[in-house]
Amino acid sequence: MTRQPAKTTDPEAHHERARNLGLYGLLAHWDEVQSQDWLPWVLETEEAERRRRSLERRIHNARVGAFKPMADFNWKWPKKIHRATIDELFTLQFIDEGANVVLLGPNGVGKTMIAKNLTYQAVMRGYTARFAAASDMLNDLAAQQTSGTLARRLRRYCNPQLLAIDEVGYLSYDNRYADLLFEVVTRRYEQRSIVLTTNRPFAEWGEIFPNAACVVTLVDRLVHRAEIIQIQGDSYRLKEAKERSARKRKARGNGRTPRQGK
What is the reported pLDDT for 237?
73
pTM of the model: 0.80
For residues 235 and 180, which has the higher predicted lDDT (pLDDT)?
Answer: 180
What is the reported pLDDT for 244?
79
- Asked whether 34 and 11 are in contact (CB, 8 A), the reply is yes
- Tens digits of residue pLDDT in 83-94: 999 999 999 999
What is the reported pLDDT for 7?
53
Considering the chain, what percentage of its residues have pLDDT values greater than 70?
94
pLDDT at position 170 over 60: yes
Can you tell me whether residue 194 is helix, strand or coil? strand
Residue 214: burial class (beta carbons within 10 Å; 0-12, 13-18, 19+): middle
Can you tell me whether residue 38 is helix, strand or coil? coil
What is the reported pLDDT for 77?
92
Average pLDDT of 134-141?
Answer: 97
Average pLDDT of 150-159?
Answer: 96
Cα-flanking dihedrals φ and ψ of residue 251, to 5°?
A: -65, -40
- Tens digits of residue pLDDT in 14-54: 999 999 999 999 899 999 988 899 999 999 999 988 888 88
What is the reported pLDDT for 259?
60
Residue spans of alpha helices (H) in 2-127: 11-21, 24-28, 30-33, 39-62, 83-89, 93-96, 111-124
pLDDT confidence tier of residue 57, bands split at 50, 70 and 90:
confident
For residues 8 and 97, which has the higher predicted lDDT (pLDDT)?
Answer: 97
pLDDT at position 5 over 60: no
- Tens digits of residue pLDDT in 176-207: 999 999 999 999 999 999 999 999 999 999 99
Average pLDDT, the chain: 90
Can you tell me whether residue 109 is helix, strand or coil? coil
- Tens digits of residue pLDDT in 244-261: 777 877 787 776 655 655
pLDDT confidence tier of residue 243, bands split at 50, 70 and 90:
confident
